[in-house]
Amino acid sequence: MEQIARTSMQIGAALRRCRRSSGLSQDALAAKTKLRQATISALEKGEADTRLHTLIHVMAALGLEMVIRERTKAADNIEDVF
């Protein structure tokens, strides 16, 4: 399932949807990644202090990958994108 995410909160929500569709609890994903459940929760909430390495590790555990591409909507003002 392809999802567009432009903010940390949108990335977290997308990860939550993927985790749930995989039938995993936060505890189960934490055990699979050897991270704390609180770390999974913070990532899904889009908290700003999440490390990129943690994001990529969780994505790999969920069978996801990141694709970098140009935005689909051009905007003169960055606030118009959100």
| 7 neighbors 46 (Cβ within 8 angstroms) | yes
Alpha helix segments (H runs only) across the chain: 8-21, 26-33, 37-45, 52-61, 78-81
Does 75 score more than 60 pLDDT?
A: no
All domains in the chain, ordered by first residue: 8-69 (1.10.260.40)
Distance separating alpha carbons of residues 41 and 71, to the nearest angstrom: 27
Does 47 score more than 90 pLDDT?
A: yes
What digits encode the pLDDT tens for the residues 10-34?
999 999 999 999 999 999 999 999 9
Distance separating alpha carbons of residues 13 and 22, to the nearest angstrom: 14
Does 80 score more than 90 pLDDT?
A: no
Question: Of 77 and 55, which is predicted with more confidence?
Answer: 55
Distance separating alpha carbons of residues 12 and 82, to the nearest angstrom: 16
